[in-house]
């Protein structure tokens, strides 16, 4: 149902005319759901107009706690402990989040409005009126993990390609892409056509979040003791309007249980781990066999292993512009990687880089600008440390396979 159907046309504010609004009644609560465009001043005006027009007991927004924190306190990134990020294995998620923020900055620079401005307007409006704000979206890190692990090994290359292209594309975003974004989702748009053509990605980026947000709305209403005559404003992207409203009307499962299930990080695929372990065991068995056949042959096999793993790991650090100590750490960590499972060689090298070249305040201030251009990844100390992590890991993995091929060739 559109707001146009509930108010006379002559009393409807201009900012709300033609806006996609649905009203869902569930468990005695009226949810007024406003579908917005993440790059539109009109959506900001619609949020403000709706808050002025009606009384609401709560305002729910399509944000997770981390995104809301970043929106309310944009300088919070300065509190990031890069050393701990790497140590805790969160470098990949931080890198992906920075890539998404770079895509958003391109939109802001091109259209003069920060993506998600309507969400901030909704939160500010709720604060002004003294009503609670409900953050009902799933954590972006969990969504990215579920998207990543939901696609095949080969499809992940397309996923990475979409992210990288969103960073280094220098031309203006075409108008037709903006129109898709107005009717779609920020995460989906960042991954380009690949996301729209992939059922697993659509499931993780759109469908699951529709169900999760519906469950969170019911959960928050239950927790707040909402009953008859309560009204909640829900501000979500237009791409989620239909699916979320349908889920809100039809869900029967306990909301807390459903939300907790959808918020779980999917288990890691075991076959890559087993493949890596199998490869290393096979290589070391080959080295042992080489020593059994001939001491000189064994020494050559061991030399190949050390030369390739140390060399390509160090090369990754060099390409990333790492400090000499980071390069040395990569060279040492590469050959002994099989003896310290769970700690990638890139993590050790990156931690040394973060320790030697501590990020400056200026690095945090210019981070979002720097990552938008390929040179910025080497200029900014934070970005360069993350780049060090990724390139050293790639170098080590490649070296293990190359060394294995050389060792087996020498034996047969």
Beta bridge partners of 61: 135, 235
Q: How many CB atoms within 10 Å of residue 256?
A: 14
Q: Which long-range contacts (CB under 8 A, 24 or more apart) does 84-87 make?
A: 86/347, 86/350, 86/351, 86/354, 86/385, 86/389, 87/347, 87/351
- d(CA 50, CA 173) in angstroms, rounded, equals 30
Other Cβ atoms less than 10 A from the Cβ of 338: the count is 16
> What pLDDT does residue 365 have?
72
Rounded to whole angstroms, how far apart are CA atoms 296 and 290? 8
Tell me what pLDDT residue 49 has.
Answer: 93
According to DSSP, residue 366 is labeled H
Q: How far is CA 58 from CA 158, 181, 229, 243, in A?
A: 40, 27, 12, 21
Nearest-angstrom CA–CA distance, 262 and 265: 8
Measuring CA to CA, which residue among 353, 350, 310, 355 is closest to residue 334?
Answer: 310
- Yes or no: say if 174 and 232 are a contact pair by the CB < 8 Å rule: no
Res 235: pLDDT:
95
**Residue that is written with structure tokens 């002025």 in the block:** 52
Burial grade of 100 (CB within 10 A; 0-12, 13-18, 19 or more):
buried
Compute CA 186 distance to the chain's CA centroid, rounded to the nearest angstrom. Answer: 11
Which helix H or strand E contains 221, and what residues bound it? helix 208-223
Q: Are 369 and 388 in contact (CB under 8 A)?
A: no
Per-residue confidence (pLDDT) for residue 373, from 0 to 100: 75
Paired strand residues for 36: 237
Q: What is the CA radius of gyration of the chain?
A: 25
Q: Which helix (H) or strand (E) holds 389?
A: helix 381-411
pTM (two decimals): 0.72
Handedness of CA 8, 9, 12, 18 (dihedral sign): positive
Identify the CA nearest to 19 among candidates 41, 36, 39. Answer: 36
Q: What is the pLDDT of residue 5?
A: 46
Alpha-helical segments (H) within 268-375 = 271-293, 295-319, 324-333, 345-356, 361-370
The DSSP-derived string for 235-256 is EEEHHHHHHHHHHHHH--S-HH
Q: Which residues of the chain have pLDDT under 70?
A: 1-11, 74-81, 88-89, 92-93, 96-97, 99-113, 153-198, 269-272, 339-342, 361, 372
Provide the edge-to-edge strand list for the sheet that holds 230-237: 21-26, 29-36, 230-237, 58-61, 133-135
- Closest residue by Cα to residue 235 from 124, 381, 377: 124
């Amino acid at each position: 149902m559109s707001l146009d159907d509930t108010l006379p046309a002559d009393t409807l504010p201009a900012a709300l005319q033609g806006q996609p609004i649905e009203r869902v009644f569930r468990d005695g609560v009226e949810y007024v759901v406003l579908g917005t465009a993440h790059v539109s001043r009109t959506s900001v005006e619609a949020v403000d107009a709706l808050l002025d027009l009606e009384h609401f007991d709560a305002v729910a927004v399509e944000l997770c706690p981390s995104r809301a924190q970043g929106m309310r306190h944009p300088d919070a990134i300065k509190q990031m402990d890069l050393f701990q990020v790497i140590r805790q294995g969160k470098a990949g998620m931080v890198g992906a989040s920075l890539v998404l923020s770079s895509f958003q900055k391109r939109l802001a620079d091109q259209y003069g409005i920060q993506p998600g401005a309507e969400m901030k307007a909704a939160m500010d409006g709720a604060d002004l009126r003294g009503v609670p704000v409900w953050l009902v979206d799933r954590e972006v890190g969990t969504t990215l993990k579920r998207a990543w692990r939901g696609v095949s090994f080969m499809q992940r290359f397309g996923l990475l390609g979409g992210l990288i292209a969103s960073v280094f594309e220098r031309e203006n975003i075409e108008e037709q892409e903006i129109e898709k974004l107005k009717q779609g989702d920020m995460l989906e748009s960042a991954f380009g056509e690949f996301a729209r053509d992939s059922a697993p990605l659509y499931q993780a980026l759109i469908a699951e979040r529709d169900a999760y947000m519906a469950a969170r709305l019911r959960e928050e209403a239950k927790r707040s003791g909402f009953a008859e005559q309560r009204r909640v404003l829900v501000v979500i992207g237009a791409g989620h309007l239909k699916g979320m409203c349908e889920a809100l009307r039809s869900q029967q499962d306990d909301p807390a249980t459903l939300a907790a299930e959808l918020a779980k990080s999917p288990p890691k695929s075991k076959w890559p781990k087993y493949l890596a372990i199998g490869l290393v065991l096979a290589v070391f068995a080959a080295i042992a066999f080489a020593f059994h056949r001939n001491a000189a042959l064994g020494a050559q096999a061991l030399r190949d292993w050390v030369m390739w793993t140390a060399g390509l790991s160090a090369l990754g650090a060099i390409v990333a512009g790492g400090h000499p100590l980071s390069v040395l750490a990569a060279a040492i960590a590469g050959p002994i990687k099989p003896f310290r499972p769970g700690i990638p060689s890139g993590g050790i090298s990156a931690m040394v880089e973060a320790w030697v070249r501590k990020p400056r305040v200026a690095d945090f201030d210019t981070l979002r600008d720097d990552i938008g251009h390929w040179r910025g990844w080497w200029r900014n100390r934070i970005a360069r440390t993350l780049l060090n992590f990724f390139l050293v890991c790639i170098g080590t993995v490649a070296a293990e396979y190359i060394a294995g091929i050389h060792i087996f060739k020498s034996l047969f």
